[in-house]
Amino acid sequence: MSKLKIVTIVGARPQFVKAASLSKILRTRFREVLVNTGQHYDFYMSQIFFDQLAIPKPDYNLGVGSGSHAWQTGALLTRIEKVLLREKPDWVLVYGDTNSTLAGALAAAKLRIPLIHVEAGLRSHDMSMPEEVNRIITDHVSTLLFCPTKTATNNLKKEGIAKGVYNVGDVMCDAFLDYIRKIKSRGRETYIPPKPYALATIHRAGNTDSKIVLKHILRAFGQIPMPIYFLIHPRTLKAIKKLRIQIPKNIRIKKPKGYLDMLALEKGATLILTDSGGVQKEAYFCHVPCLTLRDNTEWTETLSYGWNTLVGSRPRSLLGIIRTLNNRIRKHPNYFGQGNAAHKIAQIIGSFTK
């Protein structure tokens, strides 16, 4: 009997990390065809992850690049459809909540190919976020929905989705537990700056497209009494230059890092400031307090016991919040599994036949 064929679609930094954990497991049991959409195309946001994490070379590079949400999703939809018509897979697998996720899900649904959604069931309950729209649509056309937490399974249940839903744990937890050991064994901690320091990432359009919002954020960063290593997304750097925003003296502008260096920096940080869902979660894995520059989060578990705090996109001051962090942080529950989510996913897929 020939192996089941799975077309896996990736295109952005968090999806590369998840694929690093899952693809190597899938390929022991199935035939995987890997499609890189090119949604993230900067070397430090894309190729470095394939190099460092030994992700299999993509079978297809669609090279979509940047554009409006509508244009990018439409361009991806037509390009992914061509791949699926050519490959005729048994399953299509998508991760998370990007435009690559949505386009892959719609293409599979239109061609009536069963869809697997890894990281299903997340909800921020904010429909102004493109990611929230992508998540909801993808979940509602999926055949197998692999949830990272109990909260995610409950979200799906509230929306009437119960069939094909599995709480397997988080594949990003798999990656973290695997690669944090490799960082220690390779001495990569030598890349960590002198303590104390904060680590910052800002990339969401709601925070970067408005001069007023971006100035509020950077002004609040400037009041923090420690160096801030700002790993700057290309979109954010472009916005700062275009809007001519002054950078406070305590901020050190740095290029985005590969996954291993990023983990080392996160692990060594005193504080993490971000609007990224993945970085919020990595901060929790590293036992480092996080301030999230958003009004909501899809990773509500990280808010428990003060590990993550929502400070909004226009914080006037962060000092008061920072001073209370040590008093609020207590327990650190394991919400995200034991590091075996990829094995569980492969086993469940294997139990299904055409």
pLDDT tens by residue, 103-123? 999 999 999 999 999 999 999
With beta carbons less than 8 A apart as the criterion, state whether 30 and 93 touch. Answer: no
Predicted local distance difference test score (pLDDT) of residue 188: 52
Predicted local distance difference test score (pLDDT) of residue 49: 67
Asked if the model's pLDDT at residue 46 lies above 60, the reply is no
pLDDT band for position 353 (cuts 50, 70, 90): low
Pairwise CA distance, residues 53 & 169, whole Å? 21
Active site residues: 203
Asked if the model's pLDDT at residue 22 lies above 90, the reply is yes
Asked if the model's pLDDT at residue 191 lies above 80, the reply is no
Closest listed residue to residue 229, CA positions, set 257, 260, 204: 257
pLDDT band for position 315 (cuts 50, 70, 90): confident
pLDDT band for position 168 (cuts 50, 70, 90): very high
Map residue 237 onto helix, strand or coil.
helix
Pairwise CA distance, residues 247 & 264, whole Å? 25
Looking only at the bridges linking them, the beta strands covering 144-147 and 60-61 are unpaired
pLDDT tens profile 215-265: 989 999 999 999 999 998 887 888 888 888 889 999 999 988 888 889 999
pLDDT band for position 301 (cuts 50, 70, 90): very high
pLDDT tens profile 64-76: 767 788 888 988 9
From 65-69, 210-214, 342-346, the region with the lowest mean pLDDT:
65-69
Give the rounded percent of residues in the chain with a pLDDT score beyond 90.
64
Distant-in-sequence, close-in-space partners of 107: CB < 8 Å, separation ≥ 6? 77, 80, 81, 84, 92
Helix, strand and coil in the chain, % to nearest 5: 45, 15, 40
DSSP string, 79-146: HHHHHHHHH--SEEEEETTSHHHHHHHHHHHHTT--EEEETTT---S-TTSHHHHHHHHHHHT-SEEE
pLDDT tens profile 264-297: 999 999 999 999 999 999 999 999 999 999 999 9
Predicted local distance difference test score (pLDDT) of residue 131: 92
With beta carbons less than 8 A apart as the criterion, state whether 215 and 289 touch. Answer: no
